[in-house]
Amino acid sequence: MTKQIWLNLPVKDIAKTKAFFTKIGFTFNEEHDTSSSTCMLVGEGKFVIMLFEENMFVDISQNKLTDTKISSEMLISIDAESREEVDVLAKKVQEAGGNVFSAPAENQGWMYGCGFADLDGHRWNSLYMDLGKYPK
């Protein structure tokens, strides 16, 4: 049976992408670094996101890339422990050269989050959920 799941994303430049995600607080498993890929670890469970330079990703996926300037292949959601954590992440994203396309704001009375695009246009959101305010 399946023991783990990984997410694989294409990127234009491994070094620039790794620098961006390091600046916003992500970590990497350096054992799996190559000149055209890197292994990013997300959260306490160390969810693996493999980042491959575009030509390598195309070889692996045997498919064309999505143009992230005009379409989205997915929205990657990450949790936050507080509203302040969402605000800090949004600021770090901007400082690191990413695009905050949805500024931190309250949503539906019980969630607070922001949306951002990384250097390659992949869309992410960070979300704090106050489950005490969740409508029943």
Q: pLDDT tens digits, residue range 1-28?
A: 788 889 999 999 999 999 999 999 999 9
Number of structural domains in the chain: 2
Mean pLDDT of 68-77: 94
Global pTM? 0.91
Of 35, 65, 95, the residue at which a domain comes to its end is 65
Does 28 share its domain with 75?
A: no
CATH code where residue 20 lies: 3.10.180.10
pLDDT band for position 96 (50/70/90)? very high
Owning domain of residue 100:
69-136
pLDDT band for position 58 (50/70/90)? very high
The alpha carbons of the chain give a radius of gyration, in whole angstroms, of: 16
Of 32, 50, 65, the residue at which a domain comes to its end is 65
Does 56 share its domain with 90?
A: no
